[in-house]
Chain A
């Protein structure tokens, strides 16, 4: 499995990563080699095999619908790159 440079740039965009041309080329090679490594899966017959997503095959545990957390807004905002008036600040989204 081999990716071209446009594939890599598309994946990078989906993953919200910004790559230089040089980096795209390097990742093109290294990601392709991983995809080649995993290609041997396709030769295995898995007809009728159920996918395994949790090794203990647990089902989702539910809890009471009750408030258990206290308000931690100040301590969470204290570690944010930028905040103001109790809100996270990001670059302007709407003109």
Chain B
């Protein structure tokens, strides 16, 4: 049951081969069996899941058509879920039970999917390895000594290990795509504003975007159908019409123009990753696509621009954690200032405090023009590169990350090396365009993702391109061999 896609599961639920309660129990059992070694969940909502599954079985019996009804899913622990603990993997929110529901999780509830729990992540989504979680690192199911990527590492690992059918993630600088690549699953970061940010605990508001993480492009399309679309509760939600993202999956790729940016294949890229990426591109040529060499000249500037903009916005967003209204408060504060300072220092981990301080510095008097404003100007140059490139080609392809999943603790001592990991993903968030990671091969038994980037609101095109690749390859159906938990 745990290796089948949503379309097939939906058919079998309707054919009464098994019920949603049985399906839900099967995944709950797998989580109990395997997650002690992977650590992909922070909270498991067993009772609520089984109650919801009973309702789903009734809805299916009543002839309701939505393929997500009765399907077990998980949410990154960054989405507020009413009456269910939401920690953002931080000590700061270790006791936070939201009084309201995020739009993404509400829409997934309405679609009838069954939430089995909340997944582990880097604290406040700040990280590329999942080593910054208050609840401990997540392990990569393909090799328990490797990281799963981050920040949506729990969601990626849980899907890869077959502990859940699909999960939500969020992507501020690569946090859906890089863990999807490292864990061998399919992940989509939609266009900025396509999916509502309401009830997502904010990291960098001009970059944050939620999206699906699943075993195939088709599964991602089903989930995007549920979560995409205008939301008046999010002031930057796009009013552009949403589409049926499953409608164009089967379009042939004849005549598709794929841009290969030369900057994505420079010295930083591991040669074996380059080979896997180019082999995948050849597969698209067989499907009728043509290759165009393009350039995104400001790619290297995406790192400095991002590491000013994201911490600046984070320092502002995270000022809400003051020990007054929710979250951690220190013991016996001697006055108000002492309460603010100790509550925040005790509640936030080291990476979060560092980024808050970088952002505070960049926004402080006398430095704003040199840092934040300069970074926003460079952001326009980066966006313009993509606009120019996408006027010549339909999609852009390249690697997701310079290497496959690295070993736990191998980069924690050199934070700048960790930041450089994000070179191929950051620019997409700065430009606001959609992008995917799909499984494209293996190096030493570790998965490698291919990144597919497209024009604003071209999610249906990306999913079509990814689906056609997956109809002709079987990388996305490979699964890791799991050892039982200790």
Contact (Cβ within 8 A) A18 B325: no
Most buried by B among A7, A50, A54: A54
Chain B 432-469, CB-CB to A under 8 Å as 1, else 0, gives: 11000000000000000000000010000000000000
Within 8 A of B (CB), among A51-80: 51-56, 58, 60-61, 63, 72, 75-76, 78-80
Contact (Cβ within 8 A) A52 B383: yes
B100 cross-chain contacts in A, Cβ below 8 A: 72
Chain B 358-393, CB-CB to A under 8 Å as 1, else 0, gives: 101100100000110111111111010000000000
Contact (Cβ within 8 A) B361 A11: yes
The size bracket of the interface on A is 35 or more
Query: Bound state CA distance, A88 and B339, in angstroms?
Result: 14
A54 cross-chain contacts in B, Cβ below 8 A: 192, 206, 236, 432
The distance from the CB of B102 to the nearest CB of chain A, in whole angstroms, is: 16
5 smallest beta-carbon distances between A and B, as pairs: A55-B432, A51-B376, A81-B329, A18-B341, A38-B304
Q: Does B353 contact A (CB under 8 A)?
A: yes
Query: Bound state CA distance, A12 and B305, in angstroms?
Result: 22
Set A17, A56, A82: member contacting B356, Cβ < 8 A: A17
**A16-B341, A34-B358, A90-B339 given as contacts; is B383 within 8 A of A40 (CB)?**
no
Query: Bound state CA distance, A80 and B322, in angstroms?
Result: 11
Contact (Cβ within 8 A) B376 A53: yes
Q: Does B406 contact A (CB under 8 A)?
A: no
Contact (Cβ within 8 A) B415 A34: yes
Interface size on B, residues (CB 8 A): 74
Contact (Cβ within 8 A) B99 A18: no
The distance from the CB of B348 to the nearest CB of chain A, in whole angstroms, is: 8
Contact (Cβ within 8 A) A8 B357: yes
Task: Write the chain A residue with the least CB distance to B457.
Answer: A56
The distance from the CB of B152 to the nearest CB of chain A, in whole angstroms, is: 20
Query: Bound state CA distance, A25 and B374, in angstroms?
Result: 28
Query: Bound state CA distance, A76 and B80, in angstroms?
Result: 14
Q: Does B475 contact A (CB under 8 A)?
A: no
Contact (Cβ within 8 A) A11 B381: no
Q: Does B345 contact A (CB under 8 A)?
A: yes
Query: Bound state CA distance, A34 and B311, in angstroms?
Result: 11
A42 cross-chain contacts in B, Cβ below 8 A: 370, 374
Listed in ascending order, the chain A residues whose CB lies under 8 Å from chain B are 3, 7-8, 11-12, 14-19, 26-27, 30-31, 33-35, 37-42, 44, 46, 49-56, 58, 60-61, 63, 72, 75-76, 78-82, 88, 90-93
Q: Does B324 contact A (CB under 8 A)?
A: yes
The distance from the CB of B429 to the nearest CB of chain A, in whole angstroms, is: 8
Q: Does B235 contact A (CB under 8 A)?
A: yes
Q: Does B217 contact A (CB under 8 A)?
A: no
In the assembled complex, 13 residue pairs joining A and B whose CB atoms fall closer than 8 Å, in A order, are A12-B357, A34-B311, A37-B419, A41-B371, A42-B374, A50-B377, A52-B383, A54-B192, A55-B193, A56-B236, A60-B235, A81-B324, A91-B335
The distance from the CB of B360 to the nearest CB of chain A, in whole angstroms, is: 4
Q: Does B344 contact A (CB under 8 A)?
A: yes
Q: Does B210 contact A (CB under 8 A)?
A: no
A91 cross-chain contacts in B, Cβ below 8 A: 333-336, 338-339
Knowing that A56-B191, A91-B333 are A-B contacts, what are 20 other residue pairs whose CB atoms are under 8 Å apart, sorted by A's residue number? A11-B357, A11-B361, A14-B364, A18-B341, A18-B345, A31-B361, A34-B307, A34-B416, A38-B308, A41-B375, A44-B381, A46-B378, A49-B380, A56-B238, A58-B193, A75-B99, A79-B98, A81-B328, A88-B324, A90-B339
Contact (Cβ within 8 A) A35 B336: no
B334 cross-chain contacts in A, Cβ below 8 A: 91
